[in-house]
Structure formats: structure tokens, C-alpha cells
Amino acid sequence: MTPSNEQSPTHARRRPVALVTGAAAALGLAAASLAGQAQAASTLTVAKDGSGMYTTVQAAVNAASAGDTISIAKGTYQEIVTVPTTKTGLTLKGATGNAEDVVIAYDRAAGYTDAGGNKYGTLGSSVATFSANNLTVTGLTVQNTFDKGAHPDITDTQAVAVTAQGDRQTFRNDRFISRQDTVLNWAPSATGQYRQYFYSSFVTGDVDFVFGNATAVYDRVNIQLRDSGAAAGGQNGFLSAPNTSSAKTYGILVTGSSITSSAAANTYYLGRPWHPTSDAVGQLVIRQTSLPAAVKTAGPWTDMSGYSWKNARFFEYRNTGAGAGVNSNRPQLTDSQAASYTAQKYLAGTDGWNPVG
């Protein structure tokens, strides 16, 4: 679980700009007017049947300029999508508004190899990699269709659906589906400001499927713990694996959400601390969220690779449901502490960003 950055350069589309003369120029407004026209946003359309401007999502991304909108028609698009850092302010949206209608899917795992025989690794397994700041993704499903049961020869079974590795990224009304490592909240610079907001969406998986070192908020999200067949009291999996830098106050927050599962009782951990570097001290709060019976009520946190969960920053606050509970293995925030661990606090950063609600 050691992501390495991979980016595909693309070329922005140039737009003509008008010459500004007369009073505007005299008032010194020429540069502002030119900049405004140069940055005028366009909507690019994608449709598999050829009725749009492009037939693949990546072709539209390649053609887009910063600030553009890409509207994707109903269908399943079998492709890898990469939005590089240069495409700031881009919006990707499903044209129907229903995420089930518009699906970006691909079969790739960390243990698969490229043409040169090199393994893709965790980050390379990602179906969609979003690196641009001020990105909005709405009304889309992104699914990694890797089936480890069909590939017993593959031992590196990480299969990322989405890698979010930009700042001020917003995901609304989306669906993200895989089993291991579904959503990677990634900070290419461990101490840098990378904030991602997930709202009214659906995320499912079974092993560490919300993980990483960025600051991420899951607000009013339906998180599904997939049933891998373990009997009651056994082990089906782990929801999260944060590796937040110790220099950061905020890592991952799950708030006002619903965690559901058909898995047997006491078979899921809420999280474990990923500790790939000495300064990684995972930070995760799950608050005011409904927990299913599948959660291990006696102790929902566990160690990872010899690193104790007690050294991480794991807390709960006013959770409900059959999987909720309070005991010595379930650290709780006090009311006064909880006031500092809200979606707004996590996302404010140095610029007061507030996409909440």
C-alpha cells in the first residue's frame, strides 16, 4: 500500500480572445477583460454512441481547459481516467443526475503488470485519478471490477476505484465501488494542504477501503461493508486505514453518515493505522453515524503491521445503531472536543474553504 505518483500530460485547448480598445483600455481594464474571455468555461459532452463531442471520458479531459465542464451521457465507459493538475476547476458530471446511469469502470489491480512487466502498484491500480485542485465530480459511478477470486495468482490485490489527490475537491451524489482500497485520499506532499469533501454519496469495499494521508470528510455518505463470508466473530475486513502525518491536525472524518452491512455480527473493524513512514499517525473520527451489527463492538480498532492502534488518533462521538458502544477500547470525544472535529473545521484550511452541505 505505497502509492507512487503517475501523471499523464495533456494539452489545454486554446481559445481566441478579443482585442480590447477604447475606454476599457484607457481605464486599464484590457488585461482583466482578456483574462475573463480566455477563461470562459465550456461544456464538453461525452457519449458512447457518438452523439456527443467525444466517445471517451479521457478524450474530453485531454481536450478540456481549466474550468470546463464535462457532461457524460448514460452508459458504462471501460477506461482509465486521469485528470492532471493543470485541469483546475474542472467539473465531471453524469448527464442524468443519477450516478447509477453513468459508470466509469475498469479491471486493474496492484499486482497486474504493464507492458514492461512492472507491477502497477496501489496508485497505478486506480480507475480514476483526480489530481487537479478545485475539482467537482457529481452523478458518477467509478468502479474497479477486479475480482480476486478469479485471479488466485495475484497477491497484490489492492484495486483502487478513485484516487483523490488534489486540494478543494468535491464529490457529490457519486458511487465508488471496489473491495480493497476503494478510495485513496492522497496528499502527494504528506504535510501539504489537500482537502476532499464527499457528500451524499455511496462507498463500498472490504479492506482499508477509505484510506490515505489527505484531509477528507465523508458527510451524509452511505458506507457499505461488503460481506466476505466470515462467520460471526470472525474477520470480514477493515473500513479505513489512515496514515495522516503527525504534523496535521485533521485526517479523515465520517460524519452524519450511515454505515451498513449484511455481514455477520462482530466481523468488521472500523479502522487500523497505516504506518508506512515514521511520521504517520493516522487520524480518524467517526461521529453521529449509524453503525451496523457487523462492527466489532468490543473493540472496533486494531493494529496494523505491528503498529498499535492506540498510538493513532482514533475517536468516536455519539454514534448509534447495533454496532455502537462505549468502552475502554472505544475512545470518545467529549462535547467540547467534538466542536473542533466538524466538517467545517476539517476543510477550512488556510483559506476558509467551506463546501459543506
Q: How far apart are CA 321 and CA 293, in angstroms?
A: 8
Dihedral (Cα; 311, 238, 214, 321), 10-degree rounding? -90
List, in order, residues 6 or more apart from 276 with CB less than 8 Å away: 1, 2, 243
Q: How many CA atoms lie within 13 A of 263 on its CB side?
A: 33
> Cell triple for residue 130?
483526480
Alpha carbon distance 68, 8 (integer Å): 19
Q: How many CB atoms lie within 10 A of CB 278?
A: 7
In whole angstroms, give the CA distance from residue 280 to residue 243: 5
d(CA 113, CA 210): 24
- Hey, how many other C-beta atoms are within 10 angstroms of the C-beta on 56? 16
d(CA 130, CA 195): 12
3-state secondary structure at position 136: strand
- Cα-flanking dihedrals φ and ψ of residue 98, to 5°? -110, 115
Distance CA 274, CA 241 (A): 5
CA angle 128, 268, 216 (to 5 degrees): 40
Half-sphere exposure of 174 (CA within 13 A, CB side): 25
- Length of the chain in terms of residues written: 357
For 208, the enclosing helix (H) or strand (E) is: strand 207-212
Type and span of the H or E element at 285: strand 283-287
CA angle, 338 then 344 then 349, to 5°: 110
Catalytic machinery residues: 181, 208
